């Protein structure tokens, strides 16, 4: 990995400033080629004229910063060019950079990948960084920031440290057992207690359930009910309440339209489904209804919309919402059901409050440390091996106890990206932006 990479690090389009990032052994000579002088003082923004070294033509007057490694984001020598943010300026500088010897445009996530490979970040921090860039709501931002700061990474490191100590003890016991001491068990009393402490801590983190994962993905609210209940109209009415909406997603399939919104800082995904009715559906509608039923099963909350003329019974657990209140029929609401009118807006604020409360209860306001299925699986694996080692400490052959401890340590190593991660690195880093 001796080439030097470069990429725009700021967004595309017209802007006041565009940042180009450079990382690798050629960063200093790249600055020299562009500015015609030695690199400026480290870590200071300095004003320089940037020229095409081939023609001498001035490309831009820019702020440049020289960041000698290893105390940089990637761990390598790095530089940044803060250009005027026009498309032509950026294109001209990128073109010139591409012609410099040893320089190559960066793949998505290439800078972060180097940071990881150079030990500047562990895998949980990399995931936190990816989530931070994708964060759309306050709760997502906070969770991502905690993880980037190492909330999970530090815990896992401490657990791994403890288990390495226990494992060392077990291996020493194995060596001595050659000397015919048949009573020797693999785990000393203190080793057993330490392993149990780690296992309990892991189980406690896992007991948070998928709260952290849900927060990344959003709380899924499905709008369901008979055809013409007013589902699409309600979704549109909610989508127009600007305060609530982050980004409408055009329907990916004919049968579901999704709108992402930010309710009190919590990410909520509203999903409109094809109407459900009991009979008379043609094959296409039947397929739409089958998909709706699947969506309802996977939902965190179902809003069951009932039009004035009534409809099928609500699925259990659904929040019943009587629609078209403006048509004048008073439906009471003694059953805790809501009554709304998407037309006049009546009841919509209360409906959003109820959804926000349900999302708040499910996502929680506390700090979940496990935010991805990958992390959860590795921790579950670790806890299972620890359980076996602890349970079998007295009865299993010492070699097997030690092997379970080794596998437990390995599973923790996988969380931080120390082992067995090659195949997932490509997938993870390809989800990053170019320039990150």
Q: What residue ranges bind ligand GDP (CB under 6 A)? A: 227-233, 275, 323-324, 326-327, 341-343
Cβ closer to ligand GDP: 130 or 306? 306
**At its nearest, how many Å lie between ligand GDP and the CB of residue 342?**
4
Cβ closer to ligand GDP: 75 or 230? 230
**At its nearest, how many Å lie between ligand GDP and the CB of residue 77?**
58
DSSP 216-282: HH-EEEEEE-STTSSHHHHHHHHHH-GGGEEEEEEEEETTEEEEEEEETTEEEEEEEEPPP-SS---
On the question of a cis peptide bond just before residue 70, with omega within 30 degrees of 0, the verdict is yes
Segment holding 304, helix H or strand E = strand 301-306
Cβ closer to ligand GDP: 327 or 357? 327
**At its nearest, how many Å lie between ligand GDP and the CB of residue 275?**
5
- Dist CA 338 CA 44 (whole Å): 59
Cβ closer to ligand GDP: 144 or 340? 340
Q: How many helices (H) and strands (E) does the chain have?
A: 14, 13
**At its nearest, how many Å lie between ligand GDP and the CB of residue 223?**
8
**At its nearest, how many Å lie between ligand GDP and the CB of residue 325?**
7
**At its nearest, how many Å lie between ligand GDP and the CB of residue 240?**
13
**At its nearest, how many Å lie between ligand GDP and the CB of residue 264?**
25
Cβ closer to ligand GDP: 186 or 306? 306
**At its nearest, how many Å lie between ligand GDP and the CB of residue 247?**
21
Q: How many residues does the chain have?
A: 436
Cβ closer to ligand GDP: 10 or 228? 228
Dig out the tokens for 43 from the structure: 């870590």
Dig out the tokens for 117 from the structure: 């490979």
* 129: nearest Cα among 436, 373, 394, 399: 436
**At its nearest, how many Å lie between ligand GDP and the CB of residue 134?**
30
Cβ closer to ligand GDP: 82 or 324? 324
Cβ closer to ligand GDP: 227 or 248? 227
Task: Answer for the pair 221, 303: CB distance below 8 angstroms, yes or no.
Answer: yes
Cβ closer to ligand GDP: 109 or 275? 275
Cβ closer to ligand GDP: 46 or 232? 232
**At its nearest, how many Å lie between ligand GDP and the CB of residue 284?**
15
Sign of torsion over alpha carbons 348, 354, 356, 362 = negative
Residue found under tokens 């013409």: 228
Segment holding 2, helix H or strand E = none
- Dist CA 115 CA 120 (whole Å): 5
Sign of torsion over alpha carbons 365, 370, 374, 376 = negative
Cβ closer to ligand GDP: 203 or 343? 343
End-to-end CA separation in angstroms for the chain: 17
Cα atoms in the Cβ-side hemisphere of radius 13 Å centred on 392: 17
**At its nearest, how many Å lie between ligand GDP and the CB of residue 272?**
7
Residue 411 — φ and ψ, nearest 5°?
A: -60, -40
DSSP 17-71: EEEEEEESTTHHHHHHHHHSS---SBT--EEEEEE-TTT--EEEEEEEEEE-SSS
* 221: nearest Cα among 92, 363, 96, 117: 363
Collapsing DSSP to helix, strand or coil, 345 comes out as coil
């Amino acid at each position: 990995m001796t080439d030097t990479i470069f990429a725009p690090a700021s967004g595309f389009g017209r802007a006041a400033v565009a940042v180009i990032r450079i990382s690798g052994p050629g960063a200093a000579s790249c600055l020299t080629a562009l500015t015609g002088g030695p690199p400026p003082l480290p870590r200071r923004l300095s004003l320089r004229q940037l020229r095409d070294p081939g023609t001498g033509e001035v490309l831009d007057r820019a702020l440049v910063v020289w960041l000698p490694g290893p105390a940089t984001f990637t761990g390598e020598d790095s530089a940044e060019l803060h250009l005027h943010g026009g498309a032509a300026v950026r294109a001209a500088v990128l073109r010139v950079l591409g012609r410099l010897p040893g320089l190559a445009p960066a793949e998505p996530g290439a800078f972060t990948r180097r940071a990881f490979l150079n030990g500047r970040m562990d895998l949980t921090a990399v995931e936190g960084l990816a989530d931070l860039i994708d964060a759309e709501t306050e709760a997502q931002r906070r969770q991502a920031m905690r993880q980037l700061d190492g909330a999970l990474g530090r815990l896992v490191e401490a657990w791994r440290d403890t288990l390495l100590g226990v494992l060392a003890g077990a291996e020493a016991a194995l060596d001595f057992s050659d000397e015919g001491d048949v009573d020797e068990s693999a785990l000393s009393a203190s080793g057993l207690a330490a392993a149990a402490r780690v296992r309990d801590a892991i189980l406690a983190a896992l007991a948070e359930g998928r709260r952290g994962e849900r927060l990344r993905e959003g709380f899924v609210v499905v709008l369901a009910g008979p055809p013409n209940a007013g589902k699409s109209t309600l979704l549109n009415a909610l989508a127009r309440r600007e305060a609530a909406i982050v980004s409408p997603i055009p329907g990916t399939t004919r049968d579901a339209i999704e709108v992402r919104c930010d309710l009190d800082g919590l990410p909520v995904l509203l999903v409109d489904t094809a109407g459900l009715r009991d009979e008379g559906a043609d094959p296409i509608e039947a397929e739409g209804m089958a998909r709706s039923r699947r969506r309802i099963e996977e939902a965190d909350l179902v809003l069951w919309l009932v039009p004035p003329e009534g409809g099928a019974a609500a699925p259990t657990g659904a929040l019943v919402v009587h629609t078209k209140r403006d048509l004048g029929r008073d439906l009471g609401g003694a059953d805790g059901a809501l009554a709304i009118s998407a037309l006049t807006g009546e009841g919509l604020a209360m409906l959003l409050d109820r959804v926000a409360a349900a999302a708040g209860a499910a996502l929680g306001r506390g700090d979940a440390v496990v935010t991805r299925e990958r992390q959860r699986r590795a921790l579950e694996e670790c806890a299972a091996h620890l359980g076996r080692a602890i349970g079998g400490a007295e009865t299993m052959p010492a070699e097997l106890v030690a092997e379970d401890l080794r596998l437990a340590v390995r599973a923790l190593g996988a969380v931080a990206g120390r082992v067995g991660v090659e195949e997932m690195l490509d997938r993870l880093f390809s989800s990053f932006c170019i320039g990150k």
